[in-house]
Amino acid sequence: AYSNNGDAGNLNFDSGDTFSQLLKGTHDLAITKDNYGLFTRFMYFYDFVMEDGDFAYSNPVSSKKVDPCEDDDTRKQVCSDLRLLDA
């Protein structure tokens, strides 16, 4: 049932649906030569369901599906991201 309180997380998935398939990693890279060196660390993640999912819910007024990955801030928290942590 539709609610104006933004419960798309409950509405986007039917009972028994997979709601997350995550690939993630954190990697370090260190390069040294003589007295010089470089160290960097980065992390990434990609949620296949959120990025490629076919969501069950459509807005009854506009018939538009609610895609959380459309918003850039939400995408970085929920869908996919690549970040440089140290350099």
pLDDT digits (tens, 9 = 90+) for 62-85: 887 778 888 888 889 999 999 999
Global pTM reads 0.71
* pLDDT band with cut points at 50, 70 and 90 for residue 21: very high
Q: Is the pLDDT of residue 22 over 70?
A: yes
Give the model's pLDDT for residue 25: 98
DSSP string, the chain: ---TT--HHHHSS-TT-----EEEEEEEEEEEETTEEEEEEEEEEEEHHHHH---S-B-TTT--B--GGGSHHHIIIIIEEEEEEE-
* Domain parsing of the chain, residue ranges: 8-86
